[in-house]
Amino acid sequence: MKTMKIGLIGCGNISDIYLRNLGTFPGLQVEACADLIPARAVEKAAQYRIPRTCSTEELLQDSEIEMVVNLTLPRTHAAVAREILLAGKHVYNEKPLALTRQEGQELLELAAAKNLRIGCAPDTVLGAGIQTARALIDEGLIGTPLSAAASMQCHGHEHWHPAPDFYYEPGGGPLFDMGPYYLSALVTLLGPAAAVTAMAAKGFDTRIIGSAPRKGETIQVTTPTHLAGVIQFESGVLCNTTMSFDVWKSTQPHLEIHGTRGSLLIGDPNTFDAAVSLFRAEAQDWTALPLRQGYSSHMRGLGVADMAQAVRSGNNHRCSGTIAFHVLDIMHAFLDSSHKKSEQPLSSRCERPTPAVDLFSSRQMES
C-alpha cells in the first residue's frame, strides 16, 4: 500500500497513545503535528520523531498530507473537522463525532460532497475482546440475542485529570465521554438501534479537582452525570443502559448479551482485550474464553490505520462517521427522552460493521 501521510491536530493527553501506535502500522507516516500551544506540539514531535511541527493552517495547506487525526477538545471536534474536509483531506475524529446532531449531519454531508472519508473513535471495537464476542454471536453460540445490559459506573475523572472541566459541561458527562465505547460496541455486536427511553440526573452541583496543577479548585457541573435508559435495537433486542459519574464503586458487568441458548459476559469496551465469558443453557457456570482474533494490546489508532487502508482499497472503513453519527443520535435521544418523558425513535441508521478479521495480520494478537 502506498504510504499515507498523516497530520495530527491536538497534542493533549490522548495524543501520546495515537502517536506511539500510528507509526507502527504499515503504510502510515505521521508527517506533522499542531496544537494551539506550540510548545506541546514541539514536545510530542521530539518524543515520537515526527518530522515537523506547524500551525493548524500550515498543516491543512500541506498537499502531501492526505488524512488528519483530530484530537482537539470535544466542543471543537466539528469545527476542526469541517476545516479539514474543506482543505480536501480525510478526517478521523476522536469521539464524539460532534456535540450536536446538526454538526454531525453537516460533516457527513460535506464529506460526501467532497468525496472524502470521515472516521471516528472509538476503535476499541476492533480489538480482540469485542471481535471475539462478535464472532461468538455470529456463530450462534448464544442463539438469537434477546436482551442486553450495558453499565459504566464510576465517580468521574476530576480526581486524576489535570483539566477535567469539559467532562462536566454539555457534551461531556458519562454519556458523551464513555457512552461512545459502550454504544459503538453494542452496534458492532447487535446492529443499529431503533428507539430509546431514559431518565437523567445530576448528583453533584460541583466537583473538586484532585490533581495538579489545579488541585483543590472547584468546577461547576452543568450536564447530567447519571443516566438510566433502555435501547431498542432494530433486531428487537432490549438493552438496559446505565452511565454514571455518581457511583463510588460498582460490581455490575460492563456488557452482557443474552440469547435463546446462552449468555455472553464482556469486559470493559474501553479496552482492546475485554475479557469474554460464555454461559450455555446446559452449563453449570460461566466459562472464560480465549480471545480469538484482533489486537489485544492498547492499539488506539487502529481505526486510523483501517481507514487509511480502506481509502486505498476502496472498501468501507469500520469506525465510520455514519456509525459515529448513529451513536451521537442515540446519546441525544437519551437526553431528549429524559427531558420529554417519552420514548424517542431514532432518525439515523447505520449498517453493522464487517468483522475485523486479518487486520494487519503481522501484528495480530499483540502481547
Q: Where in the chain is the domain with CATH 3.40.50.720?
A: 4-124+299-321+338-363
Looking at residue 179, its pLDDT comes to 97
pLDDT digits over 80-113, tens only?
999 999 999 999 999 999 999 999 999 999 999 9
List the one residue out of 244, 282, 242 whose CA is nearest residue 261: 282
Looking at residue 360, its pLDDT comes to 63
Is residue 364 pLDDT above 70, yes or no? no
In degrees rounded to 5, what are phi and psi of residue 32? -160, 155
The answer to whether the CB of 324 falls within 8 A of the CB of 104 is yes
Give percent of the chain above pLDDT 70.
Answer: 97
Taken as a whole, the chain contains a residue count of: 367
Mean pLDDT calculated for residue range 143-152: 98
Looking at residue 362, its pLDDT comes to 38
pLDDT digits over 225-260, tens only?
999 999 999 999 999 999 999 999 999 999 999 999
pLDDT digits over 108-136, tens only?
999 999 999 999 999 999 999 999 999 99
In degrees rounded to 5, what are phi and psi of residue 234? -55, -30
Instruction: Give the position of cell 476530576.
Output: 158
Q: Dig out the grid coordinates for 203 from the structure.
A: 448528583
The answer to whether the CB of 148 falls within 8 A of the CB of 255 is yes
Looking at residue 100, its pLDDT comes to 96
Looking at residue 83, its pLDDT comes to 98
Looking at residue 267, its pLDDT comes to 98
pTM for the structure as a whole: 0.94
Q: What is the 3-state secondary structure (H, E, C) of the chain?
A: CCCEEEEEECCCCCHHHHHHHHCCCCCEEEEEEECCCHHHHHHHHHHHCCCEECCHHHHHHCCCCCEEEECCCHHHHHHHHHHHHHCCCEEEECCCCCCCHHHHHHHHHHHHHCCCCEEECCCHHHEHHHHHHHHHHHCCCCCCEEEEEEEEECCCCCCCCCCHHHHHCCCCHHHHHCHHHHHHHHHHHHCCEEEEEEEEECCCCEEECCCCCCCCCEEECCCCCEEEEEEEECCCCEEEEEEECCCCCCCCCCEEEEECCEEEEECCCCCCCCCEEEEECCCCCCEEECCCCCECCCCCCHHHHHHHHHHHHCCCCCCEHHHHHHHHHHHHHHHHHHHHCCCEECCCCCCCCCCCCCCCHHHCCCC
User: CA separation (Å) from 254 to 66, 293, 314?
Assistant: 37, 20, 35
The answer to whether the CB of 324 falls within 8 A of the CB of 95 is yes
Looking at residue 358, its pLDDT comes to 67
Mean pLDDT calculated for residue range 38-66: 97
Tell me the pLDDT band of 357, cut-offs 50, 70 and 90: confident
CA 279 to CA 66: how far, in whole Å? Answer: 46
CA atoms within 13 A on the CB side of 15: 26
Domain formed by 125-289, architecture: 2-Layer Sandwich (3.30)
Mean pLDDT, all residues of the chain: 94
Give percent of the chain above pLDDT 90.
Answer: 90
Tell me the pLDDT band of 367, cut-offs 50, 70 and 90: very low
Tell me the pLDDT band of 2, cut-offs 50, 70 and 90: confident
Domain 4-124+299-321+338-363 has CATH 3.40.50.11440: no
Q: Where in the chain is the domain with CATH 3.30.360.10?
A: 125-289
Mean pLDDT calculated for residue range 137-164: 95
Tell me the pLDDT band of 294, cut-offs 50, 70 and 90: confident
Is residue 363 pLDDT above 80, yes or no? no
List the one residue out of 168, 182, 362 whose CA is nearest residue 267: 182
Looking at residue 365, its pLDDT comes to 31
Tell me the pLDDT band of 23, cut-offs 50, 70 and 90: confident
The answer to whether the CB of 225 falls within 8 A of the CB of 175 is no
Looking at residue 280, its pLDDT comes to 95
Mean pLDDT calculated for residue range 319-340: 98
Tell me the pLDDT band of 47, cut-offs 50, 70 and 90: very high
> How far is C-alpha 259 from the chain's CA centre?
26
Looking at residue 311, its pLDDT comes to 96
The sign of the dihedral angle between the CA atoms of 266, 267, 271, 275 is negative
